Structure 1
């Protein structure tokens, strides 16, 4: 027997029998307060953004320390950040999924994944990864701890990625986010990215 659709679950008030939305876990009883956020993420369309680099990006002075995954190879830091940021821990990644989705990809290089490190606690407060294919750089997983947002962390990570992409010969950078993630869309637009 097929599980009921999400709309049927809501209509009959039995969210415990719903199937997963995308990669997230099934909706559970008591999640009604978060349902609108879950539904918005489920029906939100991907938005592809792009920026053309005409010259080497300008490095901006910042208090954020940025190091590579090669210097700090902590899968646990990435899993913690991802769990805190995306769907409030509902789409929990494991070490094996991290390896499959990042480390085992042909394009992955530990020198092209960066951490933003908190100077106060020496913990990772942000991460970003770069894939380069010819003259195109693709941003993967730009994320910043909610407690560290609006402090230039994302801008420092993005500037590091853009400089590395330029040094690798990439003159165009692409990013993908959900159209419903308004703060992410606004951030990319402030950094010169436009809808592709």
Structure 2
């Protein structure tokens, strides 16, 4: 089972929210007039091993998401996995069109009948139920928040591509227990 989510990183410094003034949006003052450079990340985390499957792309459209899942499915098949269960949110890029494009991509790769892909969608507006959200938060804290202010997108991409595991098995277990406790709480 893997948990999936997307994120974006810009080539301007990010601030940890703990350092922002109360009731304000944290922002680094800048007189830059140029367009912000951005890279989109697609991240899945294996809930057993903690391994991260990360791709960095210029865009994060439905076609990109389906291609990401096709690549991940192909790699999983090569590792002997017969069924891939993916937990993800209800973003518009995760709907029927993506699933149709994924099926087409898997047919083109010759793996459609060799590995089963099942999607579990978290409830709307529930990022706390997705292990990938916690991983992305950790990724930002550990890898991005301490970068110099003049960092480039290429340097950010290099740094992110080196990341393979963020949480150890004990941390994953504790986070999944936390998610389970949130999911089993009575609604108010």
TM-score calculated relative to the size of structure 2: 0.27
TM-score calculated relative to the size of structure 1: 0.26
